[in-house]
């Protein structure tokens, strides 16, 4: 039996809590599908998580277009880091058709954040995948 796209397969928030607690300056952690569906969140409310997920979908699409400019590469985005006044934004490819987004304060240890994100994706990548959808439904 299939479920609506807006219903995740199971609660994945617990997978993100370790990342948020490992790097104290972490503000928001969001797992999203490539089409901008928030699949899990930690440290934020649903509205903020949905806004971040929608913005990230556009950003990963743009970065994928840039990645194709490197003929030796595979054309996929792996990591985007943006520094703004007040903090950093990280977007990393996670599982199949999914991305991990993190907002952190400007005092964050960038190396630690990157390593913790890579570790999470390496350990749990298969669970961080977006389920296939047909006609707007999770299969």
Write out the chain in H/E/C secondary structure: CCEECCCCCCCCHHHHHHHHHHCCCEEEEEEEECCCCEEEEECCCHHHHHHHHHHHHHHHHHHHHHHCCCCCCCCCCCEEEEEECCEEEEEEECCCCEEEEEEEECCCCHHHHHHHHHHHHHHHHHHHCCCCEECCEEC
pTM of the model: 0.81
* C-alpha distances out from residue 14 to 10, 20, 92, 120, Å: 11, 10, 18, 12
Question: What's the CATH number for 26-128?
Answer: 3.30.450.30
Kindly report, residue by residue over 97-120, the tens digit of the pLDDT. 889 999 999 999 999 999 999 998
Task: Give the model's pLDDT for residue 61.
Answer: 84
Question: What are the tens digits of pLDDT across the range 2-23?
Answer: 333 334 445 667 778 988 999 9
Give bridge partners of residue 53 from the DSSP assignment.
Answer: none
Q: Given pLDDT bands bounded at 50, 70 and 90, which one contains residue 81?
A: very high
Alpha-carbon distance of 128 to 55, in angstroms, equals: 19
Predicted local distance difference test score (pLDDT) of residue 124: 73
The Cα 85–Cα 71 span in angstroms is 34
Domains of the chain by residue range: 26-128
Buried b (16+ CB within 10 A) or exposed e, 72-88: eeeeebeebeeeeeebb
In 3D space, the residue among 129, 76, 123 whose CA is nearest the CA of residue 100 turns out to be 129
């Amino acid at each position: 039996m299939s479920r609506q796209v807006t219903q995740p397969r199971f609660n994945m928030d617990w997978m993100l809590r370790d990342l948020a607690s490992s790097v104290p300056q972490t503000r928001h952690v969001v797992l999203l599908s490539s089409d901008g569906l928030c699949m899990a969140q930690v440290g934020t409310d649903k509205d903020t998580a949905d806004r971040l997920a929608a913005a990230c979908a556009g950003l990963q699409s743009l970065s994928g277009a840039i990645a194709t400019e490197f003929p030796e590469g595979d054309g996929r985005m792996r990591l985007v880091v943006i520094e703004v006044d007040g903090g950093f934004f990280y977007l990393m490819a996670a599982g199949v058709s999914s991305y991990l987004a993190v907002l952190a304060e400007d005092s964050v240890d960038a190396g630690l954040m990157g390593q913790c994100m890579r570790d999470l994706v390496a350990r749990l990548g298969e669970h961080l995948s977006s389920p296939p959808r047909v006609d707007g439904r999770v299969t």
